[in-house]
Amino acid sequence: MAKSSKGLFFCKECGYESNGWLGCCPGCREWNTFVEAPPAPAVKKGGAGSTIAAAASAGLFPEDSEAVLLKNSAVEGEERIVTGIGELDRVLGGGLVKGSIVLVSGDPGIGKSTLMLMLSGCLAATRRVLYVSGEESCRQIKMRADRLEISSEGLYVLSETNVAKVYEQVGALKPDIMIVDSIQTMCDDNIQGAAGSVSQVREITSSLMKISKSRGITTFIVGHVTKDGSIAGPKILEHMVDTVLYFEGERQLVYRIMRCVKNRFGSTNEIGVFEMTGKGLNEVANPSATFLEGRPENVPGTAVACVLEGTRPMLVEVQALISGSNAANARRMSTGVDYNRLSMILAVLEKRLGLNLSGSDAYVNVVGGVKVDEPAVDLAVVAAIVSSVGNFPVPGDCAFFGEIGLTGEIRGVTHADKRLGEILRLGFKRCYMPRANKAAVADLIGKYNAEGGNADVRYIGNIKELRW
């Protein structure tokens, strides 16, 4: 009796592969996510019929390559392609680099496909763009394009999941820009595993990377994310691409934030802010004014913080609510601020200021769905908590930035001059900042006051000095 071949199972959430079914995925720790992949013959990478060979047979890149001296390499300068979407250009470091490959990920329904179609429409005015969708038909894409008022002669749409047919179209059309939405839907019949499995994603991304580098095609890859927010599939996917962009935001809110976490051609951790409307995504040129819009005045428990995202200073509203609790364990909840950071700040306030917070529920929220992961927001969190506990409001013309240490000291932060400049630009007259940054802002304050301003900057070295 012939021995039956073992089936391959993979996790629908993260792409983890196993030779047998597992109840709990070792990769993402989710339960009942393993499904059996359809049987397919395993093909050696680069062999006949493989993804690399299929792309090479289509004439997309030479099969052989040779080493060259670096000094003899032809360099004409870094060519940047302006997308026409200012916030996206900012995140990318000034525009697209020819031959680069960009990974865009985000939660379902956050607006990834909308942004990619808008980008296609902007670039197609001057360049040839191929939009490959494995999730929508050409008719559905046309309906969405009409709603977004996108129309261009240079935009080609292909609804296909078989990469061999995609490569045929790439060879025939010779596009300047290619968008693949999404990588988890693409498959090669000659690679073992179902669409979205680790082997499929790894091999197809490898071939797309080689095509982009050899043909000078700028490629966008849309990727799904798991429940914990990480990109689905193998971690090597993020290492292979040139740029990784995360599209963040709550689907119930109108604002979306695009965050750059990897960029070989520009600054990392840069952000772009968009507003979701019925006609697509609109750029938010002044995020500070947008996030502070509708801020309550003379209400305890609210303070304004100046945070730095990449090279952009941005003002956000931090709200805190401290209330008595009858439960055995008081609740601690944070939105937009790291939970562990909040627990540390509460402990410092209880130890250094003598506030009795162990028996009170504490809620901290950054308005607008913004996630702040830098410690400069600490001082504003302290001000909001103290205001809520004492039931007295923070003056409306006050702004804060500074890091809190375990002994209650206020530590200096980077780019204090940029932060203070943004605070003064938006009309805030009073700023509480670390004493360690006093020298860094001296010239800015002198220039501001010489032009008729009246900046009231309070330098503090410990939370005990916080008074308003």
**What is the CB neighbour count within 10 angstroms for residue 19?**
9
Query: Could you tell me which residue, 204 or 41, shows the higher pLDDT?
Result: 204
- Provide the pLDDT confidence category of residue 252 given band limits of 50, 70 and 90: confident
**Does residue 86 carry a pLDDT above 60?**
yes
Per-residue pLDDT tens over the stretch 124-158: 989 999 999 999 999 999 999 999 998 778 899 99
CATH code 3.40.50.300 region(s) in the chain: 51-56+80-285
- Provide the pLDDT confidence category of residue 52 given band limits of 50, 70 and 90: low
Which residues lie below 8 Å from residue 211, measured CB to CB, with a gap of 6+?
55, 60, 61, 167, 170, 217, 219
Tokens of 314: 């941005």
Query: Could you tell me which residue, 368 or 241, shows the higher pLDDT?
Result: 241
pLDDT value of position 47: 43
- Provide the pLDDT confidence category of residue 3 given band limits of 50, 70 and 90: very low
- Which CATH code fits 289-465? 3.30.230.10
CATH code 3.30.230.10 region(s) in the chain: 289-465
CA distance 364 to 379: 13
CATH 3.40.50.300 holds for 51-56+80-285: yes
Q: How far is CA 321 from the centre of its chain?
A: 28
CA distance 9 to 352: 54
As a whole number of Å, the CA-based R_g of the chain is 26
Alpha helices by DSSP H, 353-433: 378-390, 416-425
What is the chain's mean pLDDT, rounded?
A: 87
- Provide the pLDDT confidence category of residue 191 given band limits of 50, 70 and 90: confident
Per-residue pLDDT tens over the stretch 404-454: 999 999 999 999 999 999 999 999 989 999 999 999 999 999 999 998 888
- Provide the pLDDT confidence category of residue 307 given band limits of 50, 70 and 90: very high
Percent of the chain with pLDDT over 90: 57
Burial class (CB in 10 A: 0-12, 13-18, 19+), 15: buried
pLDDT value of position 41: 47
Query: Could you tell me which residue, 35 or 443, shows the higher pLDDT?
Result: 443
Largest CA distance in the chain: 94
In this prediction, residues 230-237 reach a mean pLDDT of 71
**Does residue 27 carry a pLDDT above 60?**
yes
pLDDT value of position 227: 66
Cβ atoms of 109 and 95 within 8 Å: the answer is no
- Provide the pLDDT confidence category of residue 76 given band limits of 50, 70 and 90: low
